[in-house]
Amino acid sequence: MTSDRHAERLMGKLLRAIQLSLEATEASREAVQEILKRGADTGIFFLNGRGGAEPDGFELTEQDRDFLRSLSIRPDRRG
């Protein structure tokens, strides 16, 4: 396989992965909006399992915030 064919195959794989990610984000957004429309609330909770020490808090990265906003989820300011 030539280098160009290999690069084209990898680019195709990357484009498929991006498309699947975008479709999953859209499906998640639609599900969250349907839940909100029906009067329920949504949230994502991260728990420290397996007997670990309680964390003092956590920092959301800008990428975390962008992802949550794409799903119409507002981060809890206490985190």
Q: Where are the domains of the chain?
A: 3-70
Tell me, what's the pLDDT at 38?
93
The pair of structure tokens assigned to 65 is: 């915030």
Dihedral in degrees, nearest 10, Cα atoms 34, 38, 40, 41? 40
Residue whose C-alpha is closest to residue 64's, from 49, 79, 42, 53: 79
Does this model's pTM top 0.75? My answer is no
- CB–CB of 71/25 below 8 Å? yes
| More confident site: 36 or 42 | 36
Alpha carbon 60 to chain centroid, angstroms: 13
10 and 51 Cβ atoms separated by less than 8 Å: no
